[in-house]
Structure 1
Amino acid sequence: MLYFVLKSLHIISDIVWVGGMLVNAFVIAMVPPTIRTGVIAAVRPFDRRITTVAEGGAWLFGIILAIWYGWYATGWFGFKLLIVVMLSALHGMQAAWLRRMEADPHLDPPAFVRVGMPIVLVSVVAIVLLAVVKPF
């Protein structure tokens, strides 16, 4: 029973975290400079209070599951962990660029941050395939 509760909390945290990252990516890439300040001012509190907390929950519940069920020693988990670290770094860059863009709406972030949507989506597909199929 505890396994299913932890797994559910992990998946819920993942969904909220990925949703927040997709919102951030959309704002960074698609919102024109003329309305950027207002949109970012509305998005940043959500990112701090919801997306970042969900990221912490995903990490917490994922690490608990990995340790309790011995997944930390498997190849698929190592690769999944690498992708999750990359997503965490991207989220940090998104938050930093949202802060900078709110202060100066005419700033343009680097390409890696601007193409956040496909990076997040491809990463999520890879993570789900690794977690479900456990290929190695």
Structure 2
Amino acid sequence: MYLWLKGLHLAAVLTWVGGLVLLGVTTTALRPAAAAVLLPHERRIAAAVLRWDRRVTVPAMLAAWALGIGLASRGGWFGALWLSAKLPIVVGLSALHGVLAATLRRHVEQSERPAPTWIRHAPVIAIVGVSTIALLAVIKP
């Protein structure tokens, strides 16, 4: 049972991270200038990415959380230093996902609210976060 949980958790995480990076790159690439609006083809791309996010990335994130909690419970890892270091990063990546989805949604709706300037670093933040999590999970310092 443990190997099934681990495999499904890994598949969910890979799917979530792929969608998170897609969301970050799309949000960064379509970030409109001060008064610019999205062109029709840009709006179609953004809408397609948001649909993918709702249908695939969000369920994968929720599955990764549920399976990860199941693995930690089954392994008796709650309280372990590596897991205590990993969880805040996972929470941060979940928050980043929410910020990116909301920012892209506002772009599509042509909201007047500007995107945060740090958003252009979102894909790198996601990759560094996931890499750190992978190292912590494999090495378990």
Q: Deviations over 1:53-79 (max 9, x none)?
A: 000000000000011111111011011
Aligned to 1:100: 106
Shift of 1:110: 0.7
1:42 aligns with 2:26: no
Match of 1:4 in 2: 3
How far apart, CA to CA, are the structure 2 residues paired with 1:125 and 1:28?
21
Partner of 2:15: 16
Partners of 1:40 and 1:132 in 2: how far apart? Answer: 35
- Three-state SS of the structure 1 residue aligned to 2:55 is helix
Separation in 1, partners of 2:136, 2:13: 15
Structure in which a larger fraction of residues adopt helix: 1
Q: In structure 1, what is the Cα distance between the partners aligned to 2:19 and 2:74?
A: 28
Equivalent of residue 118 in structure 1, options 120, 124, 131: 124
Counterpart residue type for residue 21 of structure 1: L
Helix, strand or coil: the match of 1:71?
Answer: coil
> Shift of residue 112 of structure 1?
3.1
The offset of 1:108, in angstroms, is 4.3
**Cα distance in structure 1, aligned partners of 2:5 and 2:85:** 21
Alpha-carbon distance in 2 for matches of 1:11, 1:79: 18
- The share of aligned pairs that are identical, in percent, is 41
Alpha-carbon offset, residue 30 of structure 1: 1.2
* Deviation sequence 1:75-131 (CA, Å, 0-9, x none): 110110110000000001111111101011786411333311000000111001000
Contact 1:6–1:61 (CA under 8 A) maintained in structure 2: yes
What letter matches 1:54 in structure 2?
Answer: A
Gaps spanning 5+ residues in structure 2: where?
A: 33-37
Give the number of equivalent residue pairs.
Answer: 134
Q: Does 1:131 align with 2:137?
A: yes
TM-score by length of structure 2 reads 0.89
Distance 1:47 1:17 in 2: 9
User: For 1:112 and 1:88, how far apart are their aligned partners in 2?
Assistant: 16
CA RMSD of aligned residues (A): 1.5
**1:61 maps to 2:67:** yes
Q: Provide TM-score, normalisation by structure 1.
A: 0.92
- Structure 1, unmatched stretches of 5+, are none
